[in-house]
């Protein structure tokens, strides 16, 4: 089965403590993304980048929300045309825009691969970085519980899994323990193996939902494997573990027609070595769409 894919770039960089992830979409494309997808028998169309004219100010919520709505409209259009959106970030805040484009579904499961929890709110964040808040907003957590935007999303918090986490603020850890979100830390992966963890997460997020959103922050990998990320954290998953995780998504979610959108975020070519991380992102996308060794 040939999967039809629409590539959308979102060159944002709303974190105040580092620069460069706005160049992520270009780095992934430069890694010959289309050729990688072709190996997976994907019919891909690159629709270019969303125009990001938002000032780089993490307090500029009105403009950021307008950008999310613009992205959401683009995602919805591609889904209506029968194409699965492949979204290239940019920082991780763009996930809210992607999820807005999936809001027509009755229920959306979420697989969130990340070294961090992204579970802060404006009330708990010590930095104000919007890219550290999207999963909390998506699940209507904390001060986001009364947010009208969170209300429009179709995310099921009890059908959401965070995989590979190893760096949490104290408030995030508390909020995650109290939430319905399932958290699989690096300790879980060390103990049980990536295959068992990802299979359990897939079984969880696909239960009683229409579609699944997969968001892959490249910092889930160890910096030895992926040096070019916005916020690297030692002790992440390996090259082969990442591919196996995406291969399992390909066979259990993409192949069954339940992939709502795939997102690759936080690639920072300023920190990279010879675009290794951009190339890895392109390869992992291909694995999620069905590319195999043989």
Q: Mind listing the pLDDT tens digit of every residue in the chain (294 residues)?
A: 569 999 999 999 886 566 899 999 999 999 999 999 999 999 999 999 999 887 665 567 888 899 999 999 999 999 999 999 999 999 999 999 999 999 999 999 999 999 999 998 888 887 778 888 899 999 999 888 888 898 899 999 999 999 999 999 999 999 999 999 999 999 999 999 999 999 999 999 999 999 999 999 999 999 999 999 999 999 999 999 999 999 999 999 999 999 999 999 999 999 999 999 999 999 999 999 999 988
The pLDDT value recorded for residue 290 is 96
Q: Provide the token pair at 205.
A: 């997020």
User: Kindly report the CA angle at 91 between 87 and 93, in degrees rounded to 5?
Assistant: 85
Does any domain span residue 204? Answer: yes
What's the predicted TM-score (pTM) here?
0.96
Does any domain span residue 220? Answer: yes
Does any domain span residue 253? Answer: yes
Q: How many domains does one find in the chain? A: 1
Does any domain span residue 137? Answer: yes
The pLDDT value recorded for residue 132 is 85
Does any domain span residue 192? Answer: yes
The pLDDT value recorded for residue 129 is 82
The pLDDT value recorded for residue 33 is 98
Which residues form the domain of 258?
3-288
Does any domain span residue 115? Answer: yes
Q: Could you tell me the sign of the dihedral formed by the alpha carbons of 86, 87, 89, 92, in that order?
A: negative
CA distance 221 to 213: 19
Give catalytic residue positions.
92, 114, 116, 118, 131, 217, 219, 266
Does any domain span residue 294? Answer: no
CA distance 209 to 257: 12
Does any domain span residue 27? Answer: yes
CATH number of the domain bearing residue 217: 3.40.800.10
The pLDDT value recorded for residue 56 is 61
Q: Is the peptide bond before 90 cis (omega within 30 degrees of 0)?
A: yes
């Amino acid at each position: 089965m040939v999967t039809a894919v629409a590539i959308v770039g979102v060159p944002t960089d709303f974190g105040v403590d580092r620069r460069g992830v706005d160049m992520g979409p270009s780095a992934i494309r430069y890694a010959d993304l289309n050729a990688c997808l072709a190996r997976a028998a994907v019919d891909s169309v690159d629709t270019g980048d969303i125009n990001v004219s938002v000032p780089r100010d993490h307090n500029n919520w009105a403009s950021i929300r307008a950008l999310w709505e613009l992205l959401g409209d683009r995602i919805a259009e591609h889904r209506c045309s029968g194409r699965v959106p492949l979204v290239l970030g940019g920082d991780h805040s763009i996930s809210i825009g992607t999820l807005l484009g999936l809001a027509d579904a009755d229920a959306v499961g979420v697989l969130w691969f990340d070294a961090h929890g992204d579970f802060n709110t404006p009330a708990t964040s010590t930095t104000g970085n919007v890219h550290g808040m999207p999963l909390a907003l998506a699940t209507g957590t904390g001060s986001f519980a009364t947010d009208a935007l969170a209300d429009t999303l179709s995310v099921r918090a009890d059908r959401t899994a965070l995989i590979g986490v190893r760096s949490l603020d104290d408030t995030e850890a508390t909020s995650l323990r109290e939430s319905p979100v399932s958290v699989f830390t690096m300790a879980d992966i060390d103990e049980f193996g990536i295959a068992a963890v990802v299979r359990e997460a897939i079984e969880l997020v696909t239960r009683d939902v229409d579609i699944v959103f997969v968001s892959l922050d490249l910092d889930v990998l160890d910096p030895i494997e992926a040096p070019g990320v916005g916020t690297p954290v030692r002790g992440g998953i390996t090259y082969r573990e990442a591919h196996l995780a995406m291969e399992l998504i390909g066979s259990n979610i993409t192949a069954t027609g339940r992939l709502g959108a795939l997102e690759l975020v936080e690639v920072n070519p300023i920190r990279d070595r010879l675009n290794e991380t951009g190339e890895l992102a392109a390869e992992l996308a291909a694995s999620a769409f069905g590319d195999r060794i043989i």
